[in-house]
Chain A
Amino acid sequence: MTAITQLNPEQRLAIRRWRVRRATTYLIAILLAFWILLPIWLIMTMAFSSAQDVRAYPLYFAPIPFSTETMQFFIDADGILQSTLNSLWVAVLTMVFSTLIATPAGYAISRFVFRGRDAIRLGILAVRAFPIVILAVPLAVIFINLGLYDSLFSLSLLHTALVMPSSVLVISSVFATVPYELEEAAKVFGCTPFQAFLKVIVPLVLPGVAASAIFAFVTSWNEVFAAILLTLQNRTLPAQILFSLDKSGDPFKFAGAFFMLVPSMIFMFFIRRYLFNMWGQITK
């Protein structure tokens, strides 16, 4: 073995240069993470400070002393609990509808080669690009005419249209990761196509489909523009908060922001592996 401790100056320079570059990369990575996390930290500080500390000036930069007073005040505020339940209900409906309708389409697009497949894919993609503001006004008018206005159900119908393209694309990319041979093998061993699907494919795609369902949930939970247009009494949480913005003080806003952030951050953690499924295939 030759000793590797004997380096000529040129090699040393190269190593030093490499180290500097590595350190710079880490520095940039950490700065970018700091840029994302700092505002979240600050709003959490506010949400878990006492009412007195939230109104103090200058503010503290950490939730010390820790207090749930502000958070409690927000949750007890008029209409917050009910609108949270409304939001959950709309999000669950959206999740169920979009998954039920999009799964067969996703399967077809990944498994079959058929005339018009690319057109359908492109059309679905185009829908992804033009949603909410354009859609909300006419749907509100249509729902008023049908007597379906101010209903959580109709709002979930709109949210379903909103997430449908993403659901189809994610689900089709999930199916694409499961080799077709597995399905064939199951059929060879005597399964009907449906049984093969149920017993072999479903367990393999379940995590991916669940990710797409969670994504639908988060999208619906966060959506505010259609929610304020389509509901009057039955407000969802974002609609309720937006309506109360003018009349409410800073503690309400700070706690509300944090309250809305928490579920999305948790859900993003679970679906982070699938983020690229959605966009990987679009750019092909």
Chain B
Amino acid sequence: MRKVNLTPYLLVLPTLLYLILFFAYPMVRSLSLAVSGEDEYLDILASPDAGAEVSGTLAMQVVVKIVDRVQQDEVLPNGRTRPVYWFQVQGLDINRNEVIGWANQRYLFVESRAESTEARVTSGVPVQGWTLQHIERMFNDFRFWSAIRNTLLLIVIVIPIQFVIALIMALVLQSGIKGSSLFLYIYAIPLGISDLAAGMVWYSIFTQRGFLNSFLDRLGLIDTPFIFIGNDKFGWMMLAIVLAEVWRATSIVMVIVVSGLQGIPRDYMEAGEIFGATLWQRIWHIILPILRPSLQVALILRTILAFQVFAVVVAIAGRDLIPVLANETYRWYNQGDAGFNNPNVAAAYAGLIMLISLGISLFYLRALRSQSEQAAL
């Protein structure tokens, strides 16, 4: 038997360990954070006595009927006693079954201890375990659906524009014009530009006393500055964000497309030209089919990155006007005044982004593969 050469494994090991520690483990931890936590439940008892048998379990904030009440003397740590009510309550438990039992007044909100016929469960005993409460909270948040909508809207608008521009850039660079390496550098500049800086750059254009208004003013088209960024300017803010995203993130698609184009043999293009194919025909019948793997990679990468759009939106529209998924993740995590300090719901958002990204990648891989298989038949 040939001896296995261990050297490559040893060389790859640090990278693998690092990625397991700082990539795989956090991902798993993220999912577990999203579905674990403390839930509070109130156990109601068979008799008005703290040691009695449990007769049912109520969720928080459930409204129950008061069937009976007794007053007891509770002994305080200093030896004194004070009167305490126990209520016999009837209501639906966590499994929607009718239950009846006794609970101490401190777990319930009752308007008048002597007369009320209804009580609300306000506290109980925390239980550590699996829970869907964070995910429910995420879905029930009033910003959630607009965050989903805005994120998807941006993806649907931005990505096609990016691909068209990137393809044009790549074709221009491949056409053999003079100075193409200068053009390449210029087109690649945004690769190094952070989303925050890009957002602020486009903010300077769209802000009230910004460049766009100044330009329109200089042309004499407007008398007073037009407000593009504000409470009821959803369309304009989205336009600014779309432009910033196209400006900033088209370069990566361009680089991938150029790499793919370099793989196209010149003969193909020349053959197309000799047989009189128009530019459009060459793009459609020669370039795009050969570029399919590159486009697939670019599409997956851009879509997944688009789900993380964050700083551009915050820099242009502030934290509240245009909710997007990444922004909401931050809002839930944030420990400052503007945040909810709830890493679990933030993890639910992160998990959701992860699942959607994964789903979309698989969808693209399948869709694009089945096409090429059909073409092969």
Contact = CB atoms under 8 A, between A and B. Distances in A.
B64 interface: no
Contacts of A142: 25-26, 29
B263 A283 contact: yes
Contacts of A29: 172, 177, 180, 183
A85 interface: no
Contact of A276 (B4, B7, B193, B259): B259
A135 interface: yes
Given A229-B333, A238-B196, A279-B259, 6 more contacts: A127-B23, A222-B196, A224-B311, A253-B200, A264-B197, A283-B259
A102 B177 CA distance: 37
Contact of A138 (B10, B33, B190): B33
B304 A130 contact: yes
7 contacts: A112-B5, A130-B354, A141-B33, A164-B15, A260-B197, A268-B192, A275-B188
Interface in B255-306: 255-256, 258-260, 262-263, 293-294, 297, 300-301, 304
Interface in B345-362: 346-347, 349-351, 353-354, 357-358, 361
Contacts of A280: 259, 262
A283 B293 contact: yes
Given A141-B29, A275-B255, A280-B262, A105 B14 contact: yes
Interface in A134-179: 134-142, 157-158, 160-161, 164, 168
A205 to B, nearest CB: 14
A191 interface: no
Contacts of A28: 168, 172
B9 interface: yes
Contact of B330 (A114, A228, A250): A228
Interface of B: 4-5, 7-12, 14-16, 18-19, 22-23, 25-27, 29-30, 33, 165, 168-169, 172, 175, 177, 180, 183-197, 200-205, 207, 209-211, 213-215, 217-218, 225, 247, 255-256, 258-260, 262-263, 293-294, 297, 300-301, 304, 307-308, 310-311, 314-315, 318-319, 325-326, 329-330, 333, 335, 343, 346-347, 349-351, 353-354, 357-358, 361
Given A29-B172, A32-B165, A161-B19, A114 B357 contact: no
B304 A25 contact: no
Contacts, number: 275
B183 A225 contact: no
B217 A58 contact: yes
Contact of A140 (B15, B315, B343): B343
A64 interface: no
Contacts of A40: 189, 201
Contacts of A136: 350
Given A57-B225, A138-B29, A129 B301 contact: yes
Nearest to A44: B201
Contacts of A141: 29, 33, 343, 347
Contacts of A135: 22-23, 26-27, 30
A180 interface: no
A246 B196 CA distance: 14
B15 A129 contact: no
Contacts of A129: 300-301, 304, 357, 361
Given A57-B225, A108-B12, A253-B200, A161 B23 contact: yes
Chain A contact residues: helix, strand, loop or mixed: helix
A276 B173 CA distance: 13
A77 interface: no
A46 B4 CA distance: 62
A269 interface: yes
A101 B197 contact: no
Chain B contact residues: helix, strand, loop or mixed: helix
B66 to A, nearest CB: 42
Contacts of B335: 232
A242 B184 contact: no
Contact of A225 (B7, B14, B209, B310): B310
Contacts of A168: 15
Interface in A92-128: 101-102, 104-105, 107-109, 111-112, 114-115, 117, 120, 123-124, 127-128
A133 B350 contact: yes
A227 to B, nearest CB: 10
B9 to A, nearest CB: 7
B12 A158 contact: no
A108 B210 CA distance: 52
A223 B194 contact: yes
A3 interface: no
A57 B196 contact: no
A127 B357 CA distance: 12
Contact of B211 (A25, A42, A242): A42
A23 to B, nearest CB: 10
Contacts of B353: 133-134
B19 A257 contact: no
B11 A254 contact: no
A105 B192 contact: no
Contact of B255 (A138, A160, A246, A279): A279
Contacts of A139: 22, 26
A137 B353 CA distance: 12
A189 interface: no
Contacts of B27: 130, 134-135, 138
Given A55-B209, A224-B194, A238-B311, A279 B256 contact: yes
A268 B188 contact: yes
A4 interface: no
Given A29-B177, A158-B22, A276 B258 contact: yes
